[in-house]
Chains A and B, each alone.
Chain A
Amino acid sequence: DAEITQSPRHKITETGRQVTLACHQTWNHNNMFWYRQDLGHGLRLIHYSYGVQDTNKGEVSDGYSVSRSNTEDLPLTLESAASSQTSVYFCASSGGRMNTEAFFGQGTRLTVV
């Protein structure tokens, strides 16, 4: 069965370190997204991609970057981790125009100390 997986599930890192969260999907979806979930804020869009070599900033992109070198993967990098980036991160993917359902990974809980 097709799926979308994130790794790691949990991570603790120190302030100032570079961190990369992995996202891999086997749906063959062109569209991939990174969201962060914080209490009282719901899910907010960090970055998204509509295909290989395409990346776009979302509403809370400062301090984050992504790259899309193939269809399956969209890694999220925190350039210099800050305590404000402690959150739960979700990766999602979706298909084309009429395929409206987005599929989500299990989430990564990141703690920056």
Chain B
Amino acid sequence: GAGVSQSPSNKVTEKGKDVELRCDPISGHTALYWYRQSLGQGLEFLIYFQGNSAPDKSGLPSDRFSAERTGGSVSTLTIQRTQQEDSAVYLCASSIDTGTDTQYFGPGTRLTVL
């Protein structure tokens, strides 16, 4: 079946612009996660959606970052007034809510802020 998909695969923007990154999770997966990976680093958790519960936003680095998940499926991560330090690969993952725990990752969006 189809895996997690993300778009765009690459995004180059100018400092101060807003960007939207999209994630399509695996159909039927109720949990969705956003992570960020800066160059040469491990993954940093950003935000987590689980079913209809309020999202866990504890990893968002600033109020310029926000995310929503519509209809329990597609999610959009929005970064307002981008800064150069926002440059990173943004990875989305989903998992099925049966306690399996395995998270399946998308290919990521490489964001470059000039």
Do A and B pair up? The answer is no
**Which B residues fall within an 8 A CB radius of A?**
none
